Structure 1
Amino acid sequence: MRILIFGATGMVGQGVLRECLRAPDVQYVQTVGRTPTGQLDPRLYDLVHRDFTDFRSIEGSLRGFDACFFCLGTSSLGMSEADYTRITHDFTMAAAQTLARLNPRMTFVFVSGASTDSTEQGRTMWARVKGRTENALQRLPFKAVYLMRPAVIQPLHGIRSKTRIYRALYALLAPLLTPLRMLLPSLVLSTQDIGLAMLALAREGAAQQVLETRDIRELSRHKIEAVVA
């Protein structure tokens, strides 16, 4: 498979990239971001691009991919709705609309969030914006669109969040996250779980478009079993 990753330097994106480079059936991975990942692998190419509202200048480098894992995002803490919409909705749709035109047989996987508001009418700003983005993505002519809604995410393998407050929170919760992930499978996932689930979606798809935490966990286990077999 040829995989495209947006947001590969973020916490989720780092985990997804790790699993892609560990997968024997992934022949090529290209990241798109404002900075390179800093990782060295013969199958990896970092495409640095600054303007996430306009991809015309790099369209030639965005063709021929089987799947896109869109992990780009930001915390809504302290942000206005306009600024959060620009990053969460506008950046995503600019990329997705371009990719749907260039790769109509592509599987597009978007990292959303638990409690996303599909009605777009709720009181919680970030949930409305995520819901609006999810709804718009489902209207695009991809082979398939999947919307992941993780809740609590445990970073593994030395992966760290880029957001300072989250780094502090994860440091405090670190001793609890592993047992909580075992006890509360419908609440806590790891970065590895998400990466493995995305690969399972790219390879085989899923029955439903919207994937909650428990669905993501089941997909990740299926991917592990498939590799072992």
Structure 2
Amino acid sequence: MPMKVILFGATGMVGQGVLRECLRDDRVESVLAVGRTPLGVEHAKLRELVHPDLAALMNLPGTKAQLTGYDACFFCLGVSSAGMSEAAYRRITHDLTLAVARPLATWNPGSTFVYVSGQGTDSTEHGRVKWARIKGRTENDLLALDLDAYMFRPGYIQPLHGITSKTRLYRAAYVVTTPLYPLLRRLAPNHVTTTEQLGRAMIAVAVEGARVHVLEARDINSTASRL
């Protein structure tokens, strides 16, 4: 049965890849892209909800009606922790994510929620690495909600099909690493994935579920291959 998907973070590198796969897959009936800025993309399956403050958006009176009736939410928002205080990084990584997920658990109980976390996330929440500890808390809080939640922990992500990162430093890094990707895939197949595989894996878990709720890169790739 075709499903309806909410996508947060469609302007980012991962979100671009997920959006591409959703628009190409017949199992996805429609996509509602929620973000701070317009995508500049037109497609019969795509609708946008734009607001400069996504946490505030979730509390607006009309938001519930716009976000009810969906089968899955793919949450691809994220920032690098470099140069950020712990409090600032927590507000974006944990607080914003839960500000979205908690009402969705009420409006669409039991629906699929896929969160893009990171390889090395600290599920104990007590480690010394700031980003890993905060992502660990985010994962744990999501898994406790009335959602069929999946945590995606990709390692190195290779952008495909002309997709680029919004971060200048990452774009520069990909100039160097992209020619090396075939070698990375051979040497460390369990630690690399692509934007295409991420998108396909999200659709797969939304349609069929997965045997685990925390998926490392190897799990993401094997799940993507089911499509």
Same fold at TM > 0.5: yes
Q: 2:80 aligns with which of 60, 75, 79?
A: 75
Letter in 2 for 1:206: A
Do structure 1's residue 171 and structure 2's residue 175 form an aligned pair?
Answer: yes
User: What does residue range 32-51 of structure 1 map to in structure 2 within 5 Å?
Assistant: 32-51=34-53
Identity %: 56
Cα deviation for residue 197 of structure 1 reads: 0.3
2:22, 2:182 → 1: CA distance? 23
2:110, 2:122 → 1: CA distance? 28
Do structure 1's residue 181 and structure 2's residue 185 form an aligned pair?
Answer: yes
Structure 1, 53-62 or 162-171: larger mean CA deviation = 53-62
Cα deviation for residue 117 of structure 1 reads: 0.3
1:178, 1:194 → 2: CA distance? 17
2:224, 2:197 → 1: CA distance? 5
Q: CA RMSD in A?
A: 0.9
- Structure 2 partner of 1:109: 114
Letter in 1 for 2:55: T
1:185, 1:201 → 2: CA distance? 21
Cα deviation for residue 38 of structure 1 reads: 1.1
- Structure 2 partner of 1:56: 59
SS of residue matched to 1:27:
strand
2:107, 2:184 → 1: CA distance? 42
Cα deviation for residue 182 of structure 1 reads: 3.9
Letter in 2 for 1:20: C
1:204, 1:124 → 2: CA distance? 34
TM-score when normalising by structure 2: 0.96
Structure 2 unmatched ranges of 5 or more: none
| Equivalent residue pairs, number | 222
2:175, 2:88 → 1: CA distance? 28
Cα deviation for residue 183 of structure 1 reads: 3.8
Cα deviation for residue 92 of structure 1 reads: 0.1
Cα deviation for residue 181 of structure 1 reads: 2.1
Deviating above 6 A after TM superposition, structure 1's stretches of 4 or more consecutive aligned residues are none
SS of residue matched to 2:134:
helix
Cα deviation for residue 180 of structure 1 reads: 1.7
1:50, 1:181 → 2: CA distance? 38
Cα deviation for residue 185 of structure 1 reads: 1.5
Letter in 2 for 1:170: Y
Do structure 1's residue 209 and structure 2's residue 213 form an aligned pair?
Answer: yes
Structure 1 unmatched ranges of 5 or more: 224-229
1:120, 1:105 → 2: CA distance? 26
What do the CA deviations read for 1:145-191 (whole angstroms, capped 9, x no partner)? Answer: 10000010000011111111111101111101133224422011000
SS of residue matched to 1:32:
strand
